[in-house]
Each structure stands twice: as C-alpha cells, then as structure tokens.
Amino acid sequence: MRSPFTLLAGLINGYPKVVAGLLLVVLVASLYGTTLITMETGTDGYLDGSTPFGQSYNTYTTTFGSSDAVIILVESDDSTGVEQLQFLDSLESDLRRQQHVASVASIADLVKQANGGRVPTSAAEVIAVKAQVPASLLERYVPSNTFTLVQVALDQGLSLDQSTAALDNIQSLVSSSDVPPGTTVSVTGSSAFAQQMGTEMGTSTGTLVGVAMLLLVGAVGLLFGYVSHRFLPVLMVGIGLVITFGVLGLAGVKITMAAIGAFPILIGLGVDYAIQFHARLEEEARKGPLPVAVRETMENTGPAVFWAMVATTMGFAPLFISPIPMIGGFAFVAITGIVACYAVSLVGIPLIARLTGYRPKGVHTEVRQATGPDRLLATLSVRIAKNPLPLLAVVGLVALLGVALDPSIPISTDENTFVPQDMPALVQMEKVSRSMGSTTPVPILVRGDGVDSLDTLRWMLEFEDYALTHHADRLTGATSIADLVVQYHGGTLPSTESELRAVLDAMPASAKEPYLSGHGTAQISFGSTTMDMPVQAALKRQLEADLAYVSPPVGIQAEPSGSFALFTNLIGDIANNKDRMTVLGFVGVLAVLLLVYRKVHAAAPLIPIVAVVGWNAVAMTVLGMEYTPLTAVLGSMTIGVAAEYTILVLERFLEEKEKYGDVFVAIEHSVQRIGRAILVSGLATAAGFSALFASNFPLISNFGVTTVFAVLFSLTGAIVVMPAALVVMDRIQARLEHRRSVGSPAPVSP
C-alpha cells in the first residue's frame, strides 16, 4: 500500500492545475474568515469563568458594575464649584439618555439629594451641603480639589459591538459638551481601557506580522541564495498565515495578547517547514527529472517534517491544561498555524515547482558539492561526535544551573505593565489612582441570605477592625454598608432589625449600590498602599486566613475578589502549572519519538531539548527578566521549537546511517546535507521572532526577547549538541543489540 505522501505526489505530478484550484478555493474561504477576526480584551483572557473563583469574580463584577465601568474625569481649579456642579448635573442628564447606560453617579447627585433635589446656587450653600454628605462618599466622587469623577455603569450582558457603540456615544457626547472655562473632560475606566487596548492589539498584530515578514524576506534573501526562487518559502508562509487567520475567524476564536505573540512564532516555524521542503527539492532536482524530485521530496521530507511537526504540537499541547485562558488560546493559534503552514509547504512548494517547471541551480549534477558553510558545519559536527562526553558534561552542568535558578525567577501579573504605557485610558486611570491615594482597592465579596442583617453588619465592622489592625502597613481604610449605616444612624449601629430597616430605607440608592445589592450580595472595600504582586499575593493569603479566624455568621460566605484576587491568583496559576506544562511537553515529544523510531536513538533529541530549557532559565536570570502569563509558555514552546530542529537532524542521520553504515560518516553527511538548511531556517525563525520587539505591549516585546534566545539555543542544540547525543545513543543502541545477540540461543543444526 502506497503512503499518503506518494499518493499526494502522484496527484501533484499528474494533476497540478486541479490541486492548484482546490488550494485557491481554500485560500478564498480563508480570506473571508479573516474578516471575522475579533480581539479579546478584559479579564476573559486571564480567567476561566466556569471555575468557582471565576463564578465568584463574575458575581462581583456584574453586581457592583466593575466589568463595564466608564469613568469621566473632570479636571478644574475647583472641583465642587457652583459652575462645576451645574455642568455635572447637565452632563449626567445627557448621559442617562444614552443607549445602554444603566446608571450615572457623581457628586452632583449627592449634593442635590442633600439640598432638596436642586443644585446649590452659591459657594456657601455648597459648603453647607457638602458637610451633610458622608466623608467616604465624598471621597468616592471627589478624590481631590482639582478633579471629580462621573461614574457611568453600562447595561450588563452587552455584546462587544454594543459596548463599543455605547462607549463611542459617551465619548462623542463628552467631546461636544459645553465645558466651563478652565475645565478638561476625559473618558477612562475599564471599558475605555478595554476598547483602547483592543485597538492597540489590532494595530500591534498587523505591525508584528508585517515586520516579521520583512525580516523574513531579508533573512531568506541573505541566507538562502544557494537555491532557485529563494523567496518561495516566504510565499508559503504568507499563504499559511492567511489560512490560519481564516480558520480562527471561521471558528470564532478571539485574539488575545498572548495569541498575538504566537503569530511570529508560527511565521518562524512555517518558514522552517518551507525551507526544508525547498532545500530537499533543490537537492533532488539536481539529480534527475522534476517529477522524480517532487516524489522523492514528498516521500522523504514529507514524513520527516510531519513527525517533527507532530512533536512540536506535542510541545505546545500541554498549554491547554493551563487555567489561564489566554495561554490555551496561544496554544490553539500556534498549533493551528503550524498545521496550516506544514500543509501549505507540503503541497505548495512541489505544486509551484511543477506549475513553473522548476530548474535548480546546477542542473543534474549528481552530487551537490559542499560549500564553505556546509563543510564548516560538517567538520564541526564530526569533531564533536568523536569526543562527545566533555561537551555533554558542560551542557548538562549549565542546564542543571538553569533548573536550580528557575524557581528564583520572579513572576509578574500586573496587567497595567503589560500594555502600552502611553495609552490615554491607562494614563488617566493612574492619575485617578494616585489622587485617590489607593492604587489597589481590596474588595471582600460577601454572599448569603441576609447580608444586610444586623448580625452580618456587626461582623463586617468586626472584620474591618481586625484586618486594619493586623495589616496597618498594607490596608489604609475600609468602607462597607455597615460603615454607611453607622454614619446615617448618628455614629452607632442600630440595635434592632427594625431600626436597621428604617436606616437602609432612608439611605440614598446611590450610596448603597456600591456596597449592597438586594439581600444576598455585599462587599467590604479596603483601601491599600502600593504593592507589587508578590506582596499582594501574600496579603490575599493573610486575608483568607483572617476570614477563617473572624468568620462570618452561619450561611454567609466571604472571600477576596475583584482584580486584586484575579491577578494575585495568576501568580499561583503560573507557578503551579509552568513546570507541569514543561514536563508534559517532554513526555509528549518522547512518546512521539518512541512511537515513530522505536529505538534508543529516539531519546537523542531529548538531550539538547532538556539542555535548551535549562539554558533559558540561565538567560532569563542574567537578563533580569520575569515570568509573565506569556513567558510562562517558554518551556513548552522551546520544547516544540527544539524538537523541530533535532528531529530533522535525527531523521536525516538515520537515512544516511542506513546508506553508509558508519555513524561518523552519517553525521557528516547529515549535517552537510541539511545543516545549512536548518541554520538558515533557524536564523530566519529568530528574525521572525525578533519582530516581537516592535510590539507596543511590554508583555509581547519581553516575550520576543525570550523567544529569540530560545530559538538560537534550539539551533545550537540541533547543530552542536545533537551530534554528540547521536553518538552516545548509537553506542548505547549497539551495546543493547550486542547483548541481545550474545544472549540469544545458538541456532539448531538440522
């Protein structure tokens, strides 16, 4: 039975125009799919909503309006002057008439409620009315004398298009408002932040792909000149990218920050596949007729690159176990792109060769003469192979150092440091945070039947006092519905449930809504000092212990929530799953190798792969880099990339060993035949990855640094370490075969 690669070669040789027509149909469908691509912003990339914490977080955001908050920042010399209050009142009236706006609140509402429903008309009246407003509410809307906040909550459950349209309407309204002299108005908040981030992500994706392709053209042009039509691999990568985008669009997959980082990776791997097919086609076409060259290329390079591609996907597959959705999205984009680029190169290069009558450089020379780079690589590999143990010892020691250093590498999960630092919404949000004196609010979500009962309110006050006393260096204050009840009841908590009901009924809705929702959900909001993520994570653990010690009444549950808990949880998610994903990547690659080769040789690629993973940790330590939700994939990604190069060397080594019988001759011929192709594809891959440096997102640009040295390490592992590993594994294989032959019974004479 003929192999699928032989059958496909027959189709391309016999019916090239038909195959080209089918490929064109796929390309057109993919072009349509690219129009359906959307960007994923906000917390969905960090949080799995089906988990218990995800459900709790969603309850918090939907109840207290944090998920679609729009903040209008009004700056002036006197934030509560008569003219400013009148402007705010007018602006609120216009905002409430906008579609999808659920509620609007500012200091103007509180002042009107305390002044009989009208805005004060004199400065003295403003001062008198402000004195009647609780200090905690006043600080919520007037964090300083120079600006005030208008908080706009959008309807819950809006689609991305509806949320974007609502925000555009708000921005248009603000831009056209009759602003008092000396006053500036700007829009910020989570919705504005998400919208601007989505725009930046779209721009960044286009920039990265464009820069990667330009770098790819330059690298291929400089390094791949020994073949005809040297830019053919670039065309294959371009088609593979279009098909990848099309599949993602048709599948409804949203692009996250992490997924953006996957595109230069698949560009790099895609050009590697294309270069391997093109180099083998050039080699075979120099020996004989083009149809034979097409068949030989597909029958030999097709399976070799296929198994390398499978091993690469096995390196990426463990990323799906991560509880961080954007990492799973990264894996899906990477694997989809890898498969698409492999399929395009497998079919596209032989197909274009047949359609154009491909003529190699040096037609019909039986054996290609080794050039300077080929001889240099071959000589180096043989010298290493003849004395492998010293090299492997040094390689192993550096890798062990990396394993020891890895746990000490810091983990960063601060989203504000991942995005462009000059993004207007971020700049305004930081201004608000600095002025309010609390950069990181710490919410405690309280749920259960009767969160507004007297017992629960007593517990809230007790817990606030305990937490503020024991964490005075981190927590600066606390506000809850219990604090508001005390303020509205003359400084004491009501003594009976009926008194409590009366106070709650008399309290303005705008005062209660931030802290109480019905009878089942409430929050305690702590103010905090500036903390880095490890300190926040420690504080979260301490608060959870405090809640267990000062426990709420029976039937009431309380836990840290909001962005404070979300991003501190990420530290644990990254730390707990990073190593597990790497180990599973090793296991997956080894399983593929054993399945395909079923000999000790199969373990040879693992030696440089393990070394490269260790080298990564050493490089990150030397460069002072941190793990992020994106660099957490570095181990699995490196395994996938390194597996690609090392398996190609292994495959060609076994082919040459079968032909010549001698291990050193096989290594020399293997590296001489494909070493330059691997070097070219590796450098081209590094060039593609370096496009990540151009990203405005620090998360992605830092990932670019780690991926470039990971690729260069992988290239070193394939060309320098792999020959030594092959010799050692070949010796082990020979000893095993010798033992089996010695231990087998002698043949019985007839």
- Do 431 and 539 touch, CB atoms closer than 8 A? no
pLDDT, position 266: 78
Which residues touch 169 (CB under 8 Å, ≥6 apart)?
98, 99
First vs last C-alpha separation in the chain = 37
- Do 272 and 345 touch, CB atoms closer than 8 A? no
pLDDT, position 422: 60
pLDDT, position 62: 74
pLDDT, position 632: 73
Quickly count: other Cβ atoms within 10 Å of residue 661's Cβ: 9
Cα–Cα distance, 663 to 667 (Å, whole number): 6
Grade residue 269 by pLDDT with cuts at 50, 70 and 90: confident
Give the start-to-end residue ranges of the domains of the chain. 4-39+224-415+569-740, 68-195
Nearest to 71 by CA among 20, 98, 105, 38: 105
Question: Can you state the angle between helices 533-549 and 562-597, rounded to 10 degrees?
Answer: 110
pLDDT, position 1: 55
Give tens-digit pLDDT for 26-59.
999 999 998 887 766 556 666 776 778 777 877 8
Task: Return mean pLDDT, the chain.
Answer: 80
Nearest to 708 by CA among 643, 620, 606, 649: 620
**Fold of domain 4-39+224-415+569-740:** Multidrug efflux transporter AcrB transmembrane fold (1.20.1640)
Please spell the DSSP secondary structure of 238-269, one letter per residue.
Answer: HHHHHHHHHHHHHHTPPB-HHHHHHHHHHHHH
Average pLDDT over residues 451-461: 93
Among 342-346, 382-386, 528-532, 643-647, the least confident range: 528-532
Q: Is the pLDDT of residue 717 over 90?
A: no
pLDDT, position 67: 44
Which of 161-192 are b and which e, b meaning 16 or more Cβ less than 10 Å from the residue's Cβ?
A: eebbebbebbbebbeebeeeeebebbbbbbbb
Average pLDDT over residues 485-490: 87
> Highest mean pLDDT range out of 422-426, 443-447, 634-638, 734-738?
443-447
Average pLDDT over residues 681-710: 74
Average pLDDT over residues 256-281: 79
- Do 304 and 653 touch, CB atoms closer than 8 A? no
Among 38-42, 534-538, 638-642, the least confident range: 38-42
Cα–Cα distance, 611 to 616 (Å, whole number): 9
Which residues touch 31 (CB under 8 Å, ≥6 apart)?
242, 246
Cα–Cα distance, 127 to 148 (Å, whole number): 16
pLDDT, position 66: 46
Give tens-digit pLDDT for 412-429.
766 555 655 566 656 665
pLDDT, position 65: 52
Question: CA distances (Å), 231 to each of 219, 235, 354, 580, 714, in order?
Answer: 10, 7, 17, 40, 24
**Residue 354, CB half-sphere, CA atoms under 13 Å: how many?**
23
Cα–Cα distance, 377 to 720 (Å, whole number): 9
Grade residue 17 by pLDDT with cuts at 50, 70 and 90: very high
Grade residue 469 by pLDDT with cuts at 50, 70 and 90: very high
Residue ranges of the alpha helices (H) in 97-189?
107-114, 123-130, 135-141, 160-176
Say how many residues make up the chain. Answer: 750
Q: Is the pLDDT of residue 145 over 50?
A: yes
CATH of 68-195 among 3.40.50.1370, 3.30.930.10, 3.40.50.2300, 3.30.70.1440: 3.30.70.1440
Q: Which amino acid is at 190?
A: S
- Do 215 and 711 touch, CB atoms closer than 8 A? no
Cα–Cα distance, 274 to 96 (Å, whole number): 57
